[in-house]
Amino acid sequence: MLGRINHVALAVPNLTAAVATYRDTLGAAVSQPQALPEHGVTVVFVELPNTKVELLEPLGEGSSIAAFLEKNPSGGMHHICYEVDDIILARDHLKQQGARVLGNGEPKTGAHGKPVIFLHPKDFFGTLIEIEQV
């Protein structure tokens, strides 16, 4: 069911500083910031030859990233995103296997303009999983 890793997401306390580190220190190509109010984050993508790293900063009140950063003030790995061909088939299979889909279970539009769902970290060894349709 799973395709390639689309990205690994890191929550950061300061997006500007994180972009500078990846761009200037590591020499990476970094996208422009993109606000995603529906998800409560501002994101940038670090483009790599085989995948991406998503840097997340809280956006607005009640952002889940703000809550994550309260527990991890210097930031850290937030989630990993896997690609699937059909998100509805994947979601239904996952639910049938006992995985908990966060929210109302309906896909939302993610940063790439494609449908995404998130799976409860307690079902996946403490790691929040994002599933994105390709």
Catalytic residues: 130
Q: Alpha-carbon distance 113 to 99, whole Å? A: 24
Of the candidates 128, 123, 91, which has an alpha carbon nearest to the alpha carbon of residue 107? 91
Q: Alpha-carbon distance 64 to 61, whole Å? A: 9
